[in-house]
Amino acid sequence: MVQTPPRVLTVAGSDSGGGAGIQADLKTMLAHGVHGMSVIAAVTAQNSLGVQGYWELPAEAVRAQFRSVVDDIGVQAIKTGMLASPNLVAVVAALLAEVSVPVVIDPVASSKHGDTLLANEALETLRTRLLPVATVVTPNLYEVELLTGHKVRERADMRGAAEAVLAFGSRWALVKGGHLEGEAADLLFDGTHEYWFTSPRHDNRHTHGTGCTLASAIASRLALGDTVPDAVAAAKEYVTGAIRAGFPLGEGIGPVDHAWRWRQGF
């Protein structure tokens, strides 16, 4: 008898180059055996060289997409990415407050090329409205500094950064230390329990979409029934393999390979 797989919803921006955003989220969800669904909050003109422009969707379009999916199909986990403006952040936060499933918040502030994807005036709304509904929030070090003012210069600073993020109300903070020297170390913290996840660095510049991919993998594993630490461990293993297998695309930074496990058997 055919069984319906767990359903995971991404609320994020579209990446026309296919390496990050909604496209990366859905590829990651497929790779984890869950059914991916989407609410498109913004559309970007984007390629391997950067973001040439982005346009938010109206709040009513975002709200209608969310209600359409959740009310009929149902959902076992939700992941958010690029939300761009204070209005969209507030709209999505209100929608998430009405559901009782794990929520993974990727507080996307810029692209891999440094292009701004979150208006400065949206930061306070993100802190006060979106983070309090998060099961897990997954900031990189740049996003930690934007949100909290806490600058991480070395691994020893990451515990304080996680505490600063948790102060906004999420249940877990996953502080990603990929921009520090040495092995890639991420810290997962809930205010009491501390988990470190490390992986070797791979000499590969094609890393577009890593943050989206990691957050979507965590959401997928949570939908499959993992605990938060187990979900992060599995997601870290997946994204490390995807980074190792990242490939050139266009003239700039290529994407991680969401299908690396499949391609190994080809």
Encode pLDDT of 118-138 as tens digits: 777 888 999 999 999 999 999
In the annotation, is 4 catalytic? Answer: no
Q: Distance from first CA to last CA of the chain, Å, rounded?
A: 29
In the annotation, is 210 catalytic? Answer: yes
**Residue-wise over 137-174: b if at least 16 C-beta within 10 A, else e?**
bbbbbebbbbbbebebeebebbeebbebbbebebbbbb
- The answer to whether the predicted template modeling score (pTM) of the entire model surpasses 0.75 is yes
Q: Which residues of the chain have pLDDT under 50?
A: none
Distance CA 46, CA 254 (A): 12
In the annotation, is 176 catalytic? Answer: yes
Q: Give the pLDDT score at 84.
A: 84
Q: Give the pLDDT score at 63.
A: 98
Tokens of 132: 């309090």
Q: Give the pLDDT score at 61.
A: 98
Q: Which of 211, 241, 246, 254 is catalytic?
A: 211
Q: Give the pLDDT score at 201.
A: 85
Q: Which of 207, 213, 236, 240 is catalytic?
A: 207
Distance CA 20, CA 213 (A): 7
In the annotation, is 80 catalytic? Answer: no
Burial class (CB in 10 A: 0-12, 13-18, 19+), 34: buried
Encode pLDDT of 2-18 as tens digits: 899 999 999 999 999 99
Beta bridge partners of 38: 10
